[in-house]
Amino acid sequence: MKLLLSTLFISLTLSACTSSDNQVVTSSESSIQSTSLNGPKNIIMVVGDGMGPAYTTAYRYFSDNPDTKEIEETVFDRHLVGMSSTYPARVSGYVTDSAAAATALATGIKSYNGAIGMDVDKKPVESVLEWAKKQGKKTGVVVTSQINHATPASYLAHNESRRNYNAIADSYIDDGIKADLYLGGGWQYYIRDDRNLVNEFKSSGFHYLDNYQDLNKLPHQKPVLGLFANIGLPWALDDTNKLRLSAMTKAATNHLDDYLGSEQGYFLLVEASQVDWAGHSNDIASAMAEMTDLAKTMEYLEKYVKNNPDTLVVLTADHSTGGFTIAANGVYNWDPTVLHTMTRSPQKIANKLLDIDITVKATSALFNFEVTQAEVDSLKQAKKQGHKDVISFNKLDENAQQQIKPKPSIHNSIYSAVKKLIDQRTNSGWTSGGHTAVDVPVFAFGKNSEIFHGKIDNTDIAKNIFTLLGK
């Protein structure tokens, strides 16, 4: 750790130490310019959406072996090189959304919340993926959200609003195909009554797959479109492959390595999208499962870089979500023990409890740990309260109903109680259902990783990658 800290301070001379909306300012222009002469063949940009510093710290304790005295180092600890600020353009204040943050990470330009690959004047700005494609590199995106969600869209599209999902999906064809590989979710947007984009990708020569098993047999001479869910993928806890990000990333690197025998290398975006979704839901169980999938992905990439040293891997978050705290209520304790036993997400547990009698035996089976009668009583009360809230809501006139958001539901009442039970068991805390403005960690390893060391801004990540790509 002392060596790591020393490296951080020494490498400040190489990092981007200040930034503005329109200017790159680095402390050593000559060092970064020299790297552009011999940049990495492959660049893998990894985004842990919503993954503020509390998440990587919690993962360390979650993955710790309780039978040893030491707290074991994680893959995140091994490659921590600095911190990044995340604020959007001034018009949106200090707290970014995923679209503005992804636009900054992808283009080096700060923009307004909601912007997809556009500046504050709603003019398109080029992404590192688009530039890499122009340089002859293969390109790809691997995400656990839908492939037209905010982060991948900011690398692949230009739209004034992240909410224009169908238009963004259409642009993946209409504005020219910019990637050689897409893996994630999105049937709802790509197989529609008005347009079947999957068939259009097929007509453009793409191999299409819709199940994880086929990741092991991708054709070497064809680009690939893989969609595995209607919108985003299931929670890692509920999916048929709980390490689906890792599996998709392995398939992507293997395919991009072999595809058409490209000598120019590739640029690959990988996003652990649902760390953010767990943070929004204040769901520590799902968050740690998503972090496990990301950690296994990074461990795979460690081995990949050892075998392919002409590769750079950079990991950061676009922002932090949920105001997650490791310990709550003034109690100096955080106990993730029960999280290791869980095999279903809290959302799925709530779905099951909605349809059954809530008993100690049935509930313990769903949680996969022994619950108490008091905990069962709290779940019963939540279910009962949910019924009351729905009845009261239905008695209101339409105008009054429109003032109540979110709309009451029995499921949501149970879901909140399930998460509260787990929070109490682990002593996890939350301050928000949204984003926060804290700085986020930056991790990097492989060729030219030293230029990402120190305190940087999210725009500096794209600017440095552009430099490595010769722009």
Predicted pLDDT at 20: 38
> DSSP assignment, residue 229?
S
How many other C-beta atoms can be found within 10 angstroms of the C-beta atom of residue 43? 26
Q: For 186-295, list the strands marked E by DSSP.
A: 207-209, 224-227, 266-272
CB 27 within 8 A of CB 14: yes
Low-confidence ranges of the chain (pLDDT < 50): 1-36
Among the listed residues 110, 468, 471, 54, the one whose alpha carbon sits nearest the alpha carbon of residue 282: 54
Q: Where are the beta strands (DSSP E) in 21-152?
A: 24-25, 42-48, 80-85, 138-146
Q: Which residues contact 298 (CB under 8 A, 6 or more apart)?
A: 46, 75, 76, 79, 313, 315, 443
Three-class HEC string of 414-435? HHHHHHHHHHHHHCEECCCCCE
pLDDT of 5 reads 42
pLDDT for 431: 98
Q: State pTM to two decimals.
A: 0.92
Q: Which two tokens stand for residue 49?
A: 């959406």
Residue 262 has a pLDDT of 65
| pLDDT tens by residue, 417-468 | 999 999 999 999 999 999 999 999 999 999 999 999 999 999 999 999 999 9
Domain boundaries, the chain: 2-325+434-468, 335-426
Q: Which fold has domain 2-325+434-468?
A: Alkaline Phosphatase, subunit A (3.40.720)
Q: Are 299 and 75 spatial neighbours (Cβ–Cβ below 8 Å)?
A: yes
From 143, 452, 386, 426, select the one nearest 273 (Cα to Cα).
Answer: 143
Please, are residues 214 and 224 in contact by the beta-carbon 8 Å criterion?
no
Looking at residue 261, its pLDDT comes to 56
Q: What is the pLDDT of residue 11?
A: 45
CATH 1.10.60.40, domain 335-426, yes or no: yes
Q: Which pLDDT score, from 0 to 100, does residue 15 have?
A: 41
**pLDDT computed for residue 324 by the predictor:** 98
Could you give the CA distance from residue 94 to residue 148 in angstroms, rounded to a whole number? Answer: 25
Q: Is 98 a catalytic residue?
A: yes
* pLDDT of amino acid 260: 57
Q: CB of 82 within 8 A of CB of 303?
A: no
CA distance 296 to 270: 13
Q: Which is catalytic among the residues 98, 127, 246, 273?
A: 98
pLDDT of residue 14: 40
Model pLDDT, residue 290: 98
